[in-house]
Structure 1
Amino acid sequence: MHLVLILVAVIIFIVFATSRLKLNPFITLLLASFLAAFAFGLPLADIEKTIRAGFGNILGYIGLVIVLGTIIGVILERTGAAIVMAESVVKWLGQKFPTLTMSIVGFIVAIPVFCDSGYVILNSLKRSMARTLNASPVAMTVALSTGLFATHTLVPPTPGPIAAAGNLGLENNLGMVIGIGLVFAIIAAFAGLFWASRCKDLPSTELEQAEEAFEEAREHYGELPSATKAFAPIFVPILLICIGSVANYPTAPLGDGMVYDILNFLGKPLNALLIGLGFALSLLQGRNKFEEFGRHTSKGLEVAAPIILITGAGGAFGAVLAATPLGSYLGDTLSTLGLGVIMPFIVAAALKSAQGSSTVALVTASALVTPLLPQLGLDSDLGRVLTVMAVGAGAMTVSHANDSYFWVVSQFSKMNVATAYKSHTAATLVMGLVTIACVWLTSLVAL
């Protein structure tokens, strides 16, 4: 029993340090690794080695993938490609179902772009559509924010889900994570869309000068790329990763000759994202393309650095837990409780709600539950993928005042806090609960 109490105490320390003391999550997780190592009684000679190996092993698999995915997202954001992607969806779907269109726009844009940045980029388009189509601005806000949030927490190459997949040993099965993640992200987005329809009568003061604001935002990017160029940097890598995963199925559907070798090579996440980066270069304009690329790369590295460090610290924390007798002890209790994917969800939801960051919740929760997968009945490829989905669902639950995304949505939409809680926060709660219910039902049938 004392092992469980130690684990609970370490989790409380992580929550308290990040939410109340405002310590950086990287430092918090590193300290938690040492605290757990001492508290669980690891030999002193092994502590530093275990933490260092855990940090390096996870980054060796997934660090470069996070960097490349982040740089591609920055280029799509800063060249106006995200705006083109949004306008293309509006053009394809028409304007008969504005909230559905807004949700799909967010769903697609957040695959490469962080949800905070995606909301800022798309807010003026949302306001313009709400005014033109006489749609509820609050309903449109919730549709956009939840569409963005669904893929942000569930679908690689967004860094949070990539890091969680790496912690859970799925770095070579990202195609499977992407495919299953898209299914559950659609479910989450529709749950958010359902709540958006219930918010249409909430008050808003957002629509002044909406059309002018969108035109100004659009002109900021200058000449915009074509839709093909805008979509290619993200959808080509995803397609390659998925094809590579299919090629590696045990049934060998693509054989084992040269075709397999080529597709297997191109489908490796690092190689696929490097190809995506090549397509992203075609979005750059003007004479100083390489100088501009250098600026975008610097920004991408600036954004990726804390995520990489947090991911590495999460790997170190997970390695410490794996080296303790905790897993075998919990095996006698968790296996009889039948918690399965519910436990990763609870851990991630507690971390998300307490400290605000979805990415930190994804990294920390996945690192914490990895040593417990055999006891939870999730120690298979599908079980690990469903664990990523459960952690992602928890990382949605809930976005409130300690989450920067809450303030981006509420302030850019000119909502008061009470309205933001009734609309955005409640929507993220509904999304998380609906998603974990579907993940749990899937685990009952498929595992």
Structure 2
Amino acid sequence: MSDTAILINTGVTVAAIVVLIVRFRLNPVIALVLGSCYLGLSTGLGVSKTVEEITAGFGDVMAEIGLLIAFGVLIGAILRDLRAIERLVDKLLKVFGERRIPYAMALTIATLLQSIFLDVLLVISGPLARGIGKRLGPRGVARMATALAIALECGIVFTVPGVGALALAGLLHVPLGKYLLFGLVVVIPTVTIAIAIMSVLFARGWWDPAKDEMADEIVAPEARPQGGPGTVAAVDLRKPPALPVVFSPLLGALVLIATGAVAEMLEWSNPVVAFLSSPVVALLLGLVGTCLIGRRFMGQPAVESALGSGLRDSGQILLLNGVGGCLAAVLAAAGLGDILGKYFSANTWAPLLLVWLMAAVLHIAVGSVTISAITSAGLLAPIAPSLGLDPVLIALSAGAGSLFMVHLTSNTFWLLQSLLGQTTRGALKTVSVGVSVASVVALGPILALNLVL
């Protein structure tokens, strides 16, 4: 099949999925699988290969993040019934105030927490951001969802040791210290300005809670009727545990994960540290510790009730992430990334804009921030010296472009949609548009750096 036919069928697939979900309100799981089937068959993969890629894509995603999602949601369920999240929200509101919370949380995630695996960080921070959003009025969820999406995606590519940043620095032989310095120069204004732009849009009526937010299926602990599921100790806590005690297992898990990342950067190997610092083991230990604290202050029946509700919550999240992997696998099997790479060259007057555009197109097609950034940067890396550009600018431009249009093939999109309680329409605004705004804003400081280097 010709390259043009594959490109056309890919465009039709993505457009059809969006229409099915947004216009006809078809369940995203069904729409994504249908789209994956059409794309595989229309691009000549055949019946067997299409089914193989769909099942393999689902399995690969589940193998990578399935347990992480489940453990994170279960920890959050117990913390919710311990009222830890509500109490922490109160502290944050007192310290930062309503207007500054989205900025403070986003900048912290984007600059200081990138040693934590993205999906681990998201399933932990998502419930907290949603809790804060509910306290900020009708546009609170929109503000917090946008701040979290921008922070997570920008941190991956701009901040060391984000996985995308490390890959780009290695590919273009940029010293990590230099990449860290220039990455901070880019990420701080990018996150701040992008959130401000989106906040203005929301304030002017671009967010409709009735259409952009999902109704809470599981009632908050304080609103549950007496004697109903989940009320044991969640309402009747006579002596609630101190916040440092409640969060100590979770913080311990994050410290273990961060330790593993630092050890890997330093190329230091220890089997015990490697085992304990793996995200799955670290979060499992955090879950066990949280269960013990919950049992001590709520009782075992309340812990079991919280775990039950957490398991129900995690089901939809797991399915959505899995089917996102289905479409991404079919796109990769169709060879779309290789096709798009043929149409770009370096003979242009604006190479940094070319790198950005190349990464943006690749990301729209394949749905992976890291892959699109690495591919676009790699295509121009060999001729970077002849262009008279510092390699760090090539890397940052590729990272910025790879943020453009996070959409339905992204695991992060569906995690943010579910954990923040958004409809698909709402997530398209906060995630797809919000991160795209950050992608464009990032060009400003990158081009400014080019003037001084």
Q: Give the aligned partner of residue 376 of structure 2.
A: 376
Matching of residue 17 in structure 1 with residue 20 in structure 2: yes
Q: Give the aligned partner of residue 80 of structure 1.
A: 83
Matching of residue 438 in structure 1 with residue 435 in structure 2: no
Matches of 1:341 and 1:318 in 2, distance apart? 21
Q: Give the aligned partner of residue 148 of structure 2.
A: 151
Q: Which amino acid aligns with 1:12?
A: A
Asked if the contact 1:346–1:394 (Cα under 8 Å) also holds between the matched residues in 2, the reply is no
Asked if the contact 2:370–2:402 (Cα under 8 Å) also holds between the matched residues in 1, the reply is no
Matches of 1:325 and 1:199 in 2, distance apart? 38
Say which is worse superposed, 193-202 or 301-310, in terms of deviation.
Answer: 193-202
Matching of residue 29 in structure 1 with residue 32 in structure 2: yes
Q: Give the aligned partner of residue 50 of structure 1.
A: 53
Cα–Cα, structure 1 residues 146 and 232, in superposed 2: closer, same or farther, change >3 Å?
Answer: farther
Post-superposition Cα deviations, 1:223-251, rounded to whole Å, max 9, x if no partner, equal 433120233344332222222111112x4
Q: Give the aligned partner of residue 313 of structure 1.
A: 323
Q: Give the aligned partner of residue 8 of structure 1.
A: 11
Please, which runs of 5 or more residues in structure 1 have no aligned partner? 128-137, 157-164, 171-175, 203-215, 351-363, 410-419
Asked if the contact 1:111–1:152 (Cα under 8 Å) also holds between the matched residues in 2, the reply is no
Post-superposition Cα deviations, 1:132-186, rounded to whole Å, max 9, x if no partner, equal xxxxxx9xx65x8524542256449xxxxxxxx999xx9xxxxx9xx999x9599
Post-superposition Cα deviations, 1:374-429, rounded to whole Å, max 9, x if no partner, equal 6433799x999998987777459xx9xxx8999989xxxxxxxxxx9xxxx79996
Q: Give the aligned partner of residue 241 of structure 1.
A: 257
Matches of 1:233 and 1:388 in 2, distance apart? 34
The alignment of Structure 1 onto Structure 2 pairs a total of residues equal to 358
Q: Give the aligned partner of residue 116 of structure 2.
A: none
Asked if the contact 1:81–1:230 (Cα under 8 Å) also holds between the matched residues in 2, the reply is yes
Q: Give the aligned partner of residue 296 of structure 1.
A: 306
Q: Which amino acid aligns with 1:81?
A: A
SS in 2 for 1:22: coil
1:8-407 correspondence to structure 2 within 5 Å: 8-90=11-93, 93=95, 99-100=99-100, 104=104, 112=123, 118-119=129-130, 123-124=134-135, 146-147=143-144, 149-151=146-148, 154-155=151-152, 184=187, 188=191, 191-192=194-195, 220=235, 222=237, 223-249=239-265, 251-252=266-267, 255-256=268-269, 260-284=270-294, 289-334=299-344, 340=355, 366=367, 375-377=375-377, 394=405
Asked if the contact 2:149–2:431 (Cα under 8 Å) also holds between the matched residues in 1, the reply is no
SS in 1 for 2:258: helix
Asked if the contact 1:88–1:227 (Cα under 8 Å) also holds between the matched residues in 2, the reply is no
Matches of 2:288 and 2:398 in 1, distance apart? 32
Asked if the contact 1:116–1:405 (Cα under 8 Å) also holds between the matched residues in 2, the reply is yes
Asked if the contact 1:378–1:387 (Cα under 8 Å) also holds between the matched residues in 2, the reply is no
TM-score w.r.t. the length of structure 2 is 0.60
1:339, distance to aligned residue in structure 2 (A)? 5.2
Matches of 1:85 and 1:374 in 2, distance apart? 38
Cα–Cα, structure 1 residues 308 and 264, in superposed 2: closer, same or farther, change >3 Å?
Answer: same
Superposition RMSD on alpha carbons, in Å? 5.2
Asked if the contact 1:240–1:266 (Cα under 8 Å) also holds between the matched residues in 2, the reply is yes
Asked if the contact 2:190–2:441 (Cα under 8 Å) also holds between the matched residues in 1, the reply is no
Matches of 2:55 and 2:204 in 1, distance apart? 54
Asked if the contact 2:32–2:323 (Cα under 8 Å) also holds between the matched residues in 1, the reply is yes
Q: Which amino acid aligns with 1:31?
A: L
Post-superposition Cα deviations, 1:337-364, rounded to whole Å, max 9, x if no partner, equal 965555776898x9xxxxxxxxxxxxx9
1:328, distance to aligned residue in structure 2 (A)? 2.2
Q: Which amino acid aligns with 2:86?
A: I
Matches of 2:194 and 2:335 in 1, distance apart? 40
Cα–Cα, structure 1 residues 88 and 407, in superposed 2: closer, same or farther, change >3 Å?
Answer: closer
Post-superposition Cα deviations, 1:26-74, rounded to whole Å, max 9, x if no partner, equal 1111111111111110133322222222211221111111111111222
Matches of 1:201 and 1:326 in 2, distance apart? 38
Asked if the contact 2:133–2:144 (Cα under 8 Å) also holds between the matched residues in 1, the reply is no
Q: Which amino acid aligns with 2:70?
A: V
TM-score w.r.t. the length of structure 1 is 0.61
Cα–Cα, structure 1 residues 332 and 273, in superposed 2: closer, same or farther, change >3 Å?
Answer: same
SS in 2 for 1:241: helix
Say which is worse superposed, 3-12 or 299-308, in terms of deviation.
Answer: 299-308
Matches of 1:387 and 1:113 in 2, distance apart? 28
Asked if the contact 1:115–1:152 (Cα under 8 Å) also holds between the matched residues in 2, the reply is no
Please, which runs of 5 or more residues in structure 2 have no aligned partner? 110-120, 154-161, 168-175, 206-221, 224-233, 382-391, 408-412
Matches of 1:201 and 1:318 in 2, distance apart? 35
Q: Which amino acid aligns with 1:62?
A: I
Q: Which amino acid aligns with 1:57?
A: D
1:420-435 correspondence to structure 2 within 5 Å: 432-434=436-438
Q: Which amino acid aligns with 1:4?
A: L
